[in-house]
């Protein structure tokens, strides 16, 4: 067998189902060998997008996707994806071709110190020394990517190694990896946690994407109903508890975080998304019970009152059992619940009022509310952008876990189309009738918009909705644009936040006969477009919705991004 075949067989042996990449010297035959072994190969248009798609499929399946890249610049393009996988805690294995070992140091084609370059952004980075040990390294890469907190792994393959052959008898083939072991917490710590919860006057449960990855939704919902605890989800923790559940207090997020006296944090880090767990966004005396799979994560930023290290689902089973014994139940008529419900209603009234304003040019709330009313309640929602993603988090609802994919912990723009491709492949193979809706800002779609050609090539029925305000955060209307730039050097006169007014992104979907593009300026036009896109299942649809360049989110009680005071 040659190196390409050995590598492909090893990936298949370890449960890799999908490979996303861009082929070229020296990895063309790796992709062919992967297909021969039954691994699905999806050719992308940018290596960064390939890495994004591979990690998203890893999040959805708990099996790492493989990302295939050529040497030098191809591999370097994947580093953004590796960093994103590390930050999100999603499993990813990157396979990079590299220049021949016999030409190292001579200035070979695309020569690059790839193992060293990736090491900062991986849990494991290595170059197999011979054909016989390729399966050992593949097993180790998959193990590092999936065990503990998931993340990225990198394997480097010089072209001359891939081209060599070796007898099958000399190849060491490890057994397929079992599922990662699930660890529990000390029973004494579980009792301390439940005692603390029982003492709470203003309890709160925060659910992160680590809980979603753990598949802990069953026991979490059981615990919520048993205890009547208010629930707040991080962006990709949405759906672990249905956003429409009576226990969800997402519309009262600021109040819930600021006033809670005991917070149970499940699979979420106290990073920028949760304002580091510090005042003024949190009570200075708040007691935190932190559940995380990574020991080094607990007590980060603030010291938790109780730290429980292990699998979220396994630990929640322990907490639920002890809570039942302790008869933990919160009063639904308490002042705490009353204040949360009042704040939720006030914010819902604001959103509803903004959504009723359907005057042209449209605002975010009108567009996103209309989309929410038209799309299936069980669809996977991919979202990225600035205002588009942030406002969409409160309006676009998730009933099910792992049904929201967004910019994540790293705040990465450009992930949307790739995440949507991964989600659509996942649905095609497991739930063919489920739809994927990708809601993008006009800035966000610019990072990786050519992946629409990938959607066209693989007949993926993704619906992309571009909320187009002519800029980054905000832009200029067409008339003002003309006045500002009239007779001026555009590199000096164009405001840095501005993009081309009323750009026709919908034409991207019209690159192939199986795509549909729509330009919408009114809610009636948007309604017709979404309904037609829902009926179109042979390829992607792109709905370009023009909104006011100065449309904004709701005024914030606090800045959404906590900044240091210098």
Two tokens at 472?
């980054």
pLDDT of amino acid 96: 98
Q: How confident is the model at residue 314 (pLDDT cuts 50, 70, 90)?
A: very high
Residue 560, pLDDT above cutoff 80: no
Residue 561, pLDDT above cutoff 90: no
Find all residues with CB under 8 Å of 90, minimum gap 6, and list them.
55, 56, 58, 59, 84, 150, 151, 213
Two tokens at 373?
């009313």
Q: Which residues pair with 541 in a beta bridge?
A: 463, 516
pLDDT of amino acid 221: 98
- Provide the sign of the torsion angle of the four alpha carbons 448, 69, 427, 232, taken in this order: negative
User: Among 115-119, 373-377, 554-558, which is the least confidently predicted range?
Assistant: 554-558
Is residue 561 included in any domain, yes or no? Answer: no
Range 434-450 average pLDDT: 97
Co-location of 206 and 156 in the same domain: no
Co-location of 335 and 377 in the same domain: no
Range 200-211 average pLDDT: 98
Quick one: how far is CA 210 from the chain centroid? 12
Q: How confident is the model at residue 171 (pLDDT cuts 50, 70, 90)?
A: confident
CATH of the domain at 133: 3.40.50.970
DSSP assignment letter at 64: P
User: Among 3-12, 100-109, 476-485, which is the least confidently predicted range?
Assistant: 100-109
Q: How confident is the model at residue 552 (pLDDT cuts 50, 70, 90)?
A: confident
Range 81-90 average pLDDT: 98
Range 394-420 average pLDDT: 97
| Secondary structure E strands in 85-132 | 92-98, 124-126
Co-location of 118 and 223 in the same domain: no
Residue 206, pLDDT above cutoff 90: yes
Co-location of 136 and 227 in the same domain: no
Residue 477, pLDDT above cutoff 80: yes
Co-location of 276 and 316 in the same domain: yes
Find all residues with CB under 8 Å of 430, minimum gap 6, and list them.
none
CATH of the domain at 326: 3.40.50.1220
Do residues 378 and 355 touch, judged by C-beta distance below 8 A?
A: no
DSSP assignment letter at 174: P
Task: Using alpha carbons, list the distances in angstroms from residue 392 to 124, 177, 354, 371, 414.
Answer: 36, 39, 13, 10, 17
Per the omega criterion (within 30 degrees of 0), is the bond before 361 cis? yes
pLDDT of amino acid 365: 96
Which pLDDT tens digit goes with each residue over 103-114?
888 998 899 999
Co-location of 312 and 375 in the same domain: no
pLDDT of amino acid 166: 86
Is residue 327 included in any domain, yes or no? Answer: yes
Do residues 119 and 184 touch, judged by C-beta distance below 8 A?
A: no
Co-location of 157 and 208 in the same domain: no
pLDDT of amino acid 555: 64
pLDDT of amino acid 172: 83
The whole domain housing 419 covers: 357-546
Is residue 204 included in any domain, yes or no? Answer: yes
Range 343-347 average pLDDT: 95
Co-location of 336 and 368 in the same domain: no
Count of structural domains, the chain: 3
Q: How confident is the model at residue 502 (pLDDT cuts 50, 70, 90)?
A: very high
pLDDT of amino acid 347: 92
Co-location of 333 and 362 in the same domain: no
* Dist CA 298 CA 263 (whole Å): 14
Residue 405, pLDDT above cutoff 90: yes
Is residue 435 included in any domain, yes or no? Answer: yes
Q: How confident is the model at residue 482 (pLDDT cuts 50, 70, 90)?
A: very high
Which pLDDT tens digit goes with each residue over 120-150?
999 999 999 999 999 999 999 999 999 999 9
- Provide the sign of the torsion angle of the four alpha carbons 265, 269, 275, 276, taken in this order: positive
pLDDT of amino acid 256: 98
Co-location of 413 and 477 in the same domain: yes
pLDDT of amino acid 525: 98
Residue 565, pLDDT above cutoff 70: no
What percent of the chain has a predicted confidence (pLDDT) above 70? 98
Is residue 554 included in any domain, yes or no? Answer: no
Co-location of 401 and 542 in the same domain: yes
Residue 566, pLDDT above cutoff 70: no
Q: How confident is the model at residue 564 (pLDDT cuts 50, 70, 90)?
A: low
């Amino acid at each position: 067998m040659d190196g390409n075949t050995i590598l492909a067989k090893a990936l298949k042996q370890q449960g890799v189902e999908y490979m996303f990449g861009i082929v070229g010297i020296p990895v063309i035959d790796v992709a062919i060998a992967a297909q021969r072994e039954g691994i699905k190969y999806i050719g992308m248009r940018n290596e960064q997008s390939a890495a994004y798609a591979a990690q998203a499929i890893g999040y959805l399946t708990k099996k790492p996707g493989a990302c295939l890249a050529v040497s030098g610049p191809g591999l370097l393009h994947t580093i953004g994806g590796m960093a994103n996988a590390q930050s999100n805690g999603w499993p990813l294995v990157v396979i990079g071709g590299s220049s021949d070992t016999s030409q190292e140091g001579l200035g070979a084609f695309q020569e690059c110190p790839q193992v060293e370059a990736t090491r900062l952004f991986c849990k494991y980075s290595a170059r197999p020394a011979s054909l016989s040990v390729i399966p050992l390294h593949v097993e180790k890469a998959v193990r590092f990517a999936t065990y503990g907190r998931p993340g990225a792994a990198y394997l480097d393959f010089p072209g001359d190694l891939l081209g060599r052959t070796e007898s099958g008898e000399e190849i060491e083939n490890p057994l397929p990896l079992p599922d990662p072991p699930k660890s529990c917490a000390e029973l004494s710590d579980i009792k301390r946690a439940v005692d603390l919860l029982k003492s709470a006057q203003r309890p709160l449960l925060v659910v992160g994407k680590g809980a979603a990855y753990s598949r802990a939704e069953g026991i979490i919902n059981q615990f919520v109903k048993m205890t009547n605890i208010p629930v707040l989800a991080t962006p990709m923790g949405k759906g672990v508890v249905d956003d429409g559940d009576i226990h969800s207090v997402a519309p009262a997020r600021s109040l819930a975080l600021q006033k809670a006296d005991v917070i149970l944090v499940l699979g979420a880090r106290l990073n920028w998304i949760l304002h580091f767990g510090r005042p003024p966004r949190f009570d200075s005396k708040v007691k935190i019970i932190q559940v995380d799979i990574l020991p080094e994560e607990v007590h980060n930023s603030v010291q938790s009152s109780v730290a429980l290290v292990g699998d979220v689902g396994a630990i929640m089973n322990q907490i639920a059992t002890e809570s039942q014994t302790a008869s933990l139940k919160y009063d639904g008529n308490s002042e705490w619940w009353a204040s949360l419900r009042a704040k939720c209603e006030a914010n819902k009234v604001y959103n509803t009022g903004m959504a009723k304003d359907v005057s042209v040019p449209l605002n975010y709330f009108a567009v996103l509310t209309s989309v929410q009313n038209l799309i299936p309640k069980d669809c996977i929602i991919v979202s990225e952008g600035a205002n588009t993603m942030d406002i969409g988090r409160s309006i676009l609802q998730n009933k099910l876990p792992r049904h929201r994919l967004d910019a994540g912990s790293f705040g990465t723009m450009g992930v949307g189309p790739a995440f949507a491709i991964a989600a659509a492949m996942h649905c095609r193979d497991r739930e063919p009738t489920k739809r994927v809706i990708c809601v993008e800002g006009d800035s966000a779609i610019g990072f990786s918009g050519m992946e629409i050609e990938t959607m066209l090539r693989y007949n993926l029925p993704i619906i992309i909705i571009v909320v187009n305000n002519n800029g980054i955060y905000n832009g200029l209307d067409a008339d003002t644009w003309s006045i500002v730039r009239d007779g001026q050097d555009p590199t000096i006169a164009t405001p840095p936040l501005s993009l081309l007014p009323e750009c026709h992104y919908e034409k991207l979907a019209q690159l192939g006969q199986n795509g549909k593009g729509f330009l919408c300026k009114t809610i009636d036009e948007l309604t017709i477009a979404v309904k037609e896109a829902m009926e179109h299942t042979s390829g992607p649809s792109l709905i370009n919705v023009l909104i006011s360049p100065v449309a904004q989110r709701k005024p914030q009680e606090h800045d959404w991004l906590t900044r240091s005071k210098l």
